[in-house]
Amino acid sequence: MEPMRLFREAGVRDRRGQRASAPEVLVAVADPVLAEHVRQVVAASGRGLVEDSPPFDRRLWRTAGLVVMDEHAARWCAAEHLARDGATALVFAGVAPQSGWQLAVHARAGHVLALPEQERELVRVVGEAVERRVGAGRIVAIIGARGGAGVSTLVASVALVAARAGNRSLAVDLDPLGGGLDVVLGMEREPGLRWGDLSLSGGRVSAAALHEALPSRAGRLSVLGAGGDNPCRVGAEATLAVLDSARSAGDTVVVDLPRHWGELQQAVLETADSAVLVIPAELRAITAGRSLAAMAAELCATLGAVVRGPSPGGLRAARVAAEAGVPLLASMHHEHSIAVGVERGGLVLRSRSSVLRAAEAVLGCRRAKAARR
């Protein structure tokens, strides 16, 4: 039997409406001669490239292994205050003027190169940037079709399973009214910063410093909570700074995303490597999930469903996911032992837990099996 694909490739759309995946190299160079130099270097490096021009496709911009841009593109990035954690190179035909170095600072370009003189240096930059991307972490955004779907429990479980597997993981709570991921994990009284304590400037944050400042467990699992008694709404720019930094450092980042549609949800789904829709096995949730899935699939490269039972009408998990138009990853159900564990000090996942199996399926640890409920 052929292995079941855990996620559907939803992709992002380029300007012609075609689906595009994250490129190894994104090139934004208008001058045809300069652009040809860049193409030759990338081809010689054996890497793939996508060419774009301002205004950039934000997802391609953030997920590319390397962005190579000219002065015009750099000025646009500086004006838009665009920041990315990946490598960025500003290229010039011939020696870069003094103003070019100043522009590189404003556009946050880590390399300033004169072509064709520094083609070998560009080859090195391309190779290092793409290799670094191969070993990078990932962002999983989890959103519910309705309130009370069990999103926080699944987010905490995925982060916990990732940490147990030896990966450094970060659970990010973006739902100020969700009750708190730190509470689910039993870390609400541990010292550390919450969203309201963070002051992010310049669109960048050190992943190592972030983990040191947050409530954490055994150095493997950290949580960025919404704030307990004083929750605050978090902006898209601050959120992306945290997510991109942690992913670039190799972390598994799991996001509790509120379902109300807005700029924050769109920004997170655009930058996430995969998204999971948690759908309770009931008619209204299926209807809501179908609408949410249609919007999410336009933004996120991969999309899957976890169905939460039991179903009052006897609907099977496979049918729930099919009706919502999302591939089924796993099913789970309410577990009394989990609720008791949270009340007594934090999430505990038993070996036969349906939530544990769902978390493993989200991470790709095992093939998801559709439970008949």
Q: For every residue of the chain, which 3-state class applies, written as one string?
A: CCCCCCCEECCEECCCCCEECCCCEEEECCCHHHHHHHHHHHHHCCCCEEECCCCCCHHHHHHCCEEEECHHHHHHHHHHCCCCCCEEEEEEECCCCHHHHHHHHHHCCCEEEEECCCHHHHHHHHHHHHHHHHCCCEEEEEEECCCCCCHHHHHHHHHHHHHHCCCCEEEEECCCCCCCHHHHCCCCCCCCCCHHHCCCCCCCCCHHHHHHHCCEECCCEEEECCCCCCCCCCCHHHHHHHHHHHHHCCCEEEEEECCCCCHHHHHHHHHCCEEEEEEECCHHHHHHHHHHHHHHHCCCCEEEEEEEECCCCCCCHHHHHHHHCCCEEEEEECCHHHHHHHHCCCCCCCCCCHHHHHHHHHHCCCCCCCCCC
Q: Supply 47's token pair.
A: 């890497």
Q: Are strands 87-93 and 66-69 parallel, antiparallel or unpaired?
A: parallel
Q: Which two tokens stand for residue 69?
A: 């841009």
**Confidence (pLDDT) at 61:** 81
CA angle 72, 73, 77 (to 5 degrees): 120
* Residue bearing tokens 């301002």: 54
* CATH code of the domain made up of 137-363: 3.40.50.300
Task: Please report where in the chains the tokens 């559907």 appear, as a residue.
Answer: 8
As a whole number of angstroms, the distance between CA 186 and CA 221 comes to 12
> Six-digit token pair at 223?
């949580």
What superfamily does domain 25-134 belong to in CATH?
A: Response regulator (3.40.50.2300)
Distant-in-sequence, close-in-space partners of 104: CB < 8 Å, separation ≥ 6: 74, 90, 112
Burial of 147 from C-beta contacts in 10 A (0-12 / 13-18 / 19+): middle
Amino acid at site 194: R
Predicted TM-score (pTM) of this structure: 0.69
Contact (Cβ atoms closer than 8 angstroms) between residue 289 and residue 147: no
| The domains spanning 25-134 and 137-363 adopt the same CATH topology | yes
Write down the domain spans for the chain. 25-134, 137-363
Q: What is the pLDDT of residue 277?
A: 97
Q: Are 314 and 356 in contact (CB under 8 A)?
A: no
Structure tokens at 268: 């997170």
Q: Are strands 8-9 and 302-309 parallel, antiparallel or unpaired?
A: antiparallel
Between CA 112 and CA 79 the distance in angstroms is 19
All residues at 6 or more sequence positions from 365 whose CB lies less than 8 Å from its CB, including other chains: 161, 165
Q: Which residues pair with 68 in a beta bridge?
A: 27, 89
Residue 278's DSSP bridge partners are 144, 306
The C-alpha atoms of residue 7 and residue 16 are separated, in whole angstroms, by 24
Per-residue tens of pLDDT for the chain, all 373 residues: 232 222 333 333 343 334 445 678 999 999 999 999 999 998 887 788 899 988 887 777 877 889 999 999 999 988 887 767 668 999 999 888 888 898 998 888 989 999 999 988 998 888 777 666 555 689 999 999 998 889 999 999 999 999 998 889 999 999 887 778 999 999 988 889 999 888 765 456 778 888 889 999 877 899 999 876 666 778 888 898 898 888 877 899 999 999 888 999 999 998 898 999 999 999 999 999 999 999 999 888 789 999 999 999 999 999 999 999 999 999 999 998 888 888 888 888 888 999 999 999 999 854 333 333 3
Tokens at 6, concatenated: 């855990």
